[in-house]
Chain A
């Protein structure tokens, strides 16, 4: 199986080829990362995967698969965000273009404490749009680019789930 894996904007071609009797419970693999080939032993663990390479190097990875192809990889000293098969890079490109609509959604479940804008307002980059409270802390959510508020989809006092649309800025 071959994957395109994006870490920090750099996309790597990674192919996984089981060697011998490798199956869902683990075994030996040949993994090609771009032009380099690594042979290793991989076993599922309570946190993710334990890898021992042919050079006997240990990679103990905690893995969280997110919906839609994003993964979090926790190595002992570092947390890495990765995307499988290009999904993230398309988003990154769209963000980088810096044009079009900004759809502010709730980053976590919480309660809307204040709505700071109304439709028609001109907003500057980094201007606060909505204040959301979660875990006893108030967080101000701001516009990333200047624009005009075209929609306010939430009222003060509302309880919102993560991902709920709050404000649209054109």
Chain B
């Protein structure tokens, strides 16, 4: 039996691994830019599906179905992003006689619309974040949105109805910022999800983002897992996630998991999904939205429960019954923390840093997991999300997990492009992080207050070591030795151009 993996990068690699372990064949797809990508190299088969822009390749439902037909794949795993929450794709797979590894098209449509999902949560008796009841279509007049924002009161959050992963989302503090936020959210939502509809939500005070992973089989069993804490966010994009939360009492965990299961039952949910909640300063929790797919941060749940969520997605899709017990799912063993490693330059306002990965050295050893989608020699394309890896550390306690994460980050080295590793090296030393004192506004606030100050302090000893290494590097280059990063290349030229460009960059 073969699985078509309708995705790319690190998540495609993650799915290939689960398929291998289950003895399933793997069919990868790739765009022009991804011919030599790691997910292609690791798969049994790889099929070209079009030009580099996602809408001409990874978002082409017809092309993906053609590949399924031609390759003889019977299951389709969408990963996350791209078509993972597109009900048209899920329905098209079923119509073509394929098994979609995810919920039904109906469940995706209902929960994928953020406004319809709120109705479902209310029907299940779960409190929702205060906000607009109905969505605004792509052509809805701006005046109507402005009026609704006035009614809700600022600050508000503009969100893509089809959103997910922080895309198509903007926080607005004052009315003057609203039109630009609407435009930006729509433009991002259209490019990421093919749907420019938006809605509004009031922003809670001091909210923590805490979510419940679900697995639901086709025999009526729905399991809620120990929570994930995802409050460390930059511009609504999660950057550090952990399980369990450093602050959630065990009885709240059980109450939250029970609410999540009720919402899933309300919509007849199957396969893996996540219910996201906001927890306010008083400890009260509100339904935020449901992600009808695997989440980027699924590994932290896997690390503390020992349950392989991707394997279970594939097993559930084939009709198997869940054998994980509620106690297994709800009882964390130790603590796990994930960092999303992006090809971005943290010292230049997190500007994307696409380009050639000249060399790579990644952490290993006890309690460390590196889910990575790039290899040395790969040119990270400009066309897709900038996440290149998820680094996860496990420890018996939260403090142990943090020490191990710090150790692993020191081992993470990517030559050729900038990554957010230096930023993570900084954050794992912050007192707020160490003590678990943060909400979803913490990171943006602290970043704004730093005013571009570099994340790593270069001591005089570091500067001397660097000067010594550069002089020796130049000597070796002059003597014909080639080390990974010392040759000139197109990538190097582009990076140099980028450095030139920084003279003109404001905040």
- Interface-facing stretch out of B90-98, B134-142, B330-338, B459-467: B459-467
Question: Which residue of chain B is the closest to A42 with respect to CB atoms?
Answer: B472
Distance (Å) between the CB of A89 and the closest chain B CB? 13
**Is B467 a contact of A7 with CB atoms below 8 Å?**
yes
CB contact between A3 and one of B464, B471, B494 (< 8 Å): that residue: B471
Cβ of B24 within 8 Å of any chain A Cβ, yes or no, is no
Contacts of A59 in B (CB 8 A): 465, 468-469
**Is B469 a contact of A8 with CB atoms below 8 Å?**
no
CB contact between A74 and one of B415, B468, B504 (< 8 Å): that residue: B415
**Is B464 a contact of A12 with CB atoms below 8 Å?**
yes
Question: A residues 68-82 with Cβ under 8 Å of B?
Answer: 68, 70-80, 82
**Is B462 a contact of A76 with CB atoms below 8 Å?**
no
Q: How far is the CA of A106 from the CA of B504 in the complex (A)?
A: 9
- Interface-facing stretch out of B145-153, B308-316, B479-487: B479-487
Contacts of B102 in A (CB 8 A): none
Cβ of A136 within 8 Å of any chain B Cβ, yes or no, is yes
CB contact between A49 and one of B383, B384, B472 (< 8 Å): that residue: B472
Contacts of B504 in A (CB 8 A): 102-105, 141, 143-144, 167
**Is B473 a contact of A71 with CB atoms below 8 Å?**
yes
**A64-B500 CB under 8 A given contacts A126-B507, A139-B352, A142-B507:** no
Per-residue A-contact encoding for B484-507, CB less than 8 Å = 1, 0 else: 111110001111111111111111
Q: How far is the CA of A48 from the CA of B498 in the complex (A)?
A: 22
**Is B477 a contact of A65 with CB atoms below 8 Å?**
yes
Q: How far is the CA of A48 from the CA of B485 in the complex (A)?
A: 6
Question: Which residue of chain A is the closest to B416 with respect to CB atoms?
Answer: A64
- Interface-facing stretch out of B185-193, B197-205, B292-300: B185-193
**Is B471 a contact of A135 with CB atoms below 8 Å?**
no
Contacts of A163 in B (CB 8 A): 494, 496-498, 500-501
Cβ of A67 within 8 Å of any chain B Cβ, yes or no, is yes
**Is A75 a contact of B485 with CB atoms below 8 Å?**
no
Question: A residues 36-51 with Cβ under 8 Å of B?
Answer: 36, 38, 40, 42, 44-49, 51
**A47-B471 CB under 8 A given contacts A108-B498, A142-B505, A143-B506:** no
Cβ of A137 within 8 Å of any chain B Cβ, yes or no, is yes
- Interface-facing stretch out of B118-126, B354-362, B436-444: B354-362
Contacts of B427 in A (CB 8 A): none
Contacts of A66 in B (CB 8 A): 492, 495-496, 499
Contacts of B382 in A (CB 8 A): 108-110, 134-135
Interface centre among B167, B188, B343, B499 (most CB of A within 10 A): B499
Distance (Å) between the CB of A160 and the closest chain B CB? 10
Count, chain A residues at interface, CB 8 A: 82
Per-residue A-contact encoding for B326-368, CB less than 8 Å = 1, 0 else: 0000000000000000011000110111100011010000000
**Is B485 a contact of A107 with CB atoms below 8 Å?**
no
Contacts of A105 in B (CB 8 A): 497, 500-501, 504
Cβ of A113 within 8 Å of any chain B Cβ, yes or no, is yes
Cβ of B425 within 8 Å of any chain A Cβ, yes or no, is yes
Q: How far is the CA of A10 from the CA of B458 in the complex (A)?
A: 12
Question: Which residue of chain A is the closest to B81 with respect to CB atoms?
Answer: A136
CB contact between B184 and one of A1, A18, A138 (< 8 Å): that residue: A138
Distance (Å) between the CB of A31 and the closest chain B CB? 5
Distance (Å) between the CB of B331 and the closest chain A CB? 36
Q: How far is the CA of A40 from the CA of B50 in the complex (A)?
A: 52
Question: A residues 112-170 with Cβ under 8 Å of B?
Answer: 113, 125-128, 133-139, 141-144, 161-163, 167
Question: Which residue of chain A is the closest to B165 with respect to CB atoms?
Answer: A136
Cβ of B411 within 8 Å of any chain A Cβ, yes or no, is yes
Contacts of A90 in B (CB 8 A): none
Q: How far is the CA of A8 from the CA of B502 in the complex (A)?
A: 15
CB contact between A67 and one of B472, B479, B488 (< 8 Å): that residue: B488
Distance (Å) between the CB of A128 and the closest chain B CB? 8
**Is B477 a contact of A107 with CB atoms below 8 Å?**
no
**Is B415 a contact of A107 with CB atoms below 8 Å?**
no
Contacts of A54 in B (CB 8 A): none
Contacts of B493 in A (CB 8 A): 67
Minimum-distance CB pairs A-B, first 5: A163-B497, A142-B506, A24-B481, A104-B504, A64-B485
A–B pairs, 7, beta carbons within 8 Å: A5-B471, A46-B484, A49-B483, A71-B470, A77-B410, A105-B500, A108-B354
Besides A61-B473, A82-B467, 15 other A-B contacts (C-beta < 8 A): A5-B470, A44-B482, A46-B483, A47-B483, A48-B469, A51-B468, A63-B485, A63-B486, A64-B495, A77-B456, A78-B462, A108-B494, A135-B352, A139-B351, A144-B505
Q: Which residues of A contact B (CB under 8 A)?
A: 1, 3, 5, 7-8, 10, 12, 14-16, 18, 23-26, 29, 31, 33, 36, 38, 40, 42, 44-49, 51, 59, 61-68, 70-80, 82, 84, 91, 95, 102-110, 113, 125-128, 133-139, 141-144, 161-163, 167
Q: Which residues of B contact A (CB under 8 A)?
A: 167, 184, 187-188, 191-192, 343-344, 348-349, 351-354, 358-359, 361, 382-386, 410-411, 413, 415-416, 418, 422, 425, 456-458, 462-488, 492-507
